[in-house]
Amino acid sequence: MEIGKKKLIFVITQPVVGGAQKYVFDLAKNFSKNYHVSVAIGEPKNGDLFQKLESEKIESIFLRHLKREIILTQDFRAFFELVRLFKKEKPDIIHLNSSKAGLLGSLAGFFAGIGRRHKPKIIFTAHGWIFKEDMSKWKKWIMVTLEWLFAKFKDRIICVSKDDFREAMKHYIAPPRKLSVVYNSIDKIKFLSKKEARAEISKMIGHEIGEDTIALVNLGRLYATKGLNYLMEAVSNLGAKHLSKKIVLVIFGDGPERENIKNQISSLRASFAEVATKAEQGFGGQANLKIEDTVFLVGDVPDAAKYLPAFDALVLSSTKEGFPYAILEAGLAGIPVISTNVGGVGEIIKDGENGILIEPKNPQAISDAIKNIIGDDEKSKKLSAKLKKSVAEDFSFEEMAERTEWVYKV
């Protein structure tokens, strides 16, 4: 380790493709110039983040007991695993990401600092508070209480949106002096051309996306909070009414809802087949039209953002968000965005100006917004151009890195 450089350790629960992982990787890569950086990560050991860190020659540390699921025996072991790590490495700054890592890591950092002349500074980034999810009142009370309790062991909390800041204040998670708003931001992305991107996506899904195809995309982890059931219902309704054009929805990502989504996709295809059969039999519609494949689940794809020019719109149907990278990426790619107005989304998208905002859990609102976009090329170009400008001007990665380092130092 170079003399004079401070030691910075990032901790994150999972190494999978996702927004929090992108956040950690981008900051680790940036700060490796001026800090001795390492990243401690839970399972799985062969996850995407490990590979990306290795490619940048950034040290990664595997935490074999740290898992996303709540398993008390494993969580107990993970806590002591983190204490041992912090005592061994003696970091100057511990930067925690995701709820599980935030809770266990803050307490472990406190215990590891006992007896040390220079205690580590403990930073936590809330990538959308867990208690904002749909849950029972008693479970929400437990989550709020845990965040409030463990916030006492954190020196600073970074909120990725003003909405998260307001939620923290509303639930008395921490005093204002501990809270800072630092928006997620992205650096330049090397996008493929629309033709190249469509060709690559066609190979991925085994289905050609032609010029006459309306191609929609959703990016994110496959969690219940992504509201994909509402999005697929909306696409089903839209497909049934607009059989004169093919509609394709490509979903990037993986996660615990994968099997449920696959089952819904099967049901969706069955309903389309029924519509086509009725059309052929003269019960409405055009007899020569069939919708065979519409929704495609492609799983985790590294650097998926480069394929965004292939699509006519990004559609986010989330019921809970922090500050989604997908909208920033779509903005730079020059494609229009339709999103539910949750979390920090409204701090990026101004409805009717640089995108379309809709209420969550409303398939009809989603399908209406999609028709609004795909039926008006001029409006689509206007919205995407304004979003591209606002992302480039208001969400620079350099500013995000500077503000994050300021949090480290205050």
The whole-number average pLDDT for the span 385-393 is: 96
Question: Is residue 118 predicted with pLDDT exceeding 50?
Answer: yes
318/221 same-domain check: yes
Residue with tokens 């799983």: 299
Our count of domains for the chain comes to 2
382/401 same-domain check: no
> Average pLDDT of the chain?
91
Domain span at 49:
6-185+396-409
178/198 same-domain check: no
Residue 144 within any structural domain of the chain: yes
Question: Is residue 156 predicted with pLDDT exceeding 60?
Answer: yes
Q: What is the pLDDT of residue 46?
A: 86
220/356 same-domain check: yes
Residue 26 within any structural domain of the chain: yes
220/127 same-domain check: no
237/151 same-domain check: no
Question: Is residue 244 predicted with pLDDT exceeding 70?
Answer: no
Residue 1 within any structural domain of the chain: no
83/217 same-domain check: no
241/377 same-domain check: yes
The whole-number average pLDDT for the span 58-71 is: 93
The whole-number average pLDDT for the span 157-174 is: 97
259/340 same-domain check: yes
Q: What is the pLDDT of residue 2?
A: 61
152/234 same-domain check: no
Q: What is the pLDDT of residue 245?
A: 73
Q: What is the pLDDT of residue 291?
A: 40
Residue 278 within any structural domain of the chain: yes
Q: How confident is the model at residue 284 (pLDDT cuts 50, 70, 90)?
A: very low
Q: What is the CATH number of the domain that holds 269?
A: 3.40.50.2000
265/401 same-domain check: no
Residue 199 within any structural domain of the chain: yes
201/245 same-domain check: yes
Residue 218 within any structural domain of the chain: yes
Question: Is residue 239 predicted with pLDDT exceeding 80?
Answer: no
Q: What is the pLDDT of residue 10?
A: 98
Residue 317 within any structural domain of the chain: yes
Residue 379 within any structural domain of the chain: yes
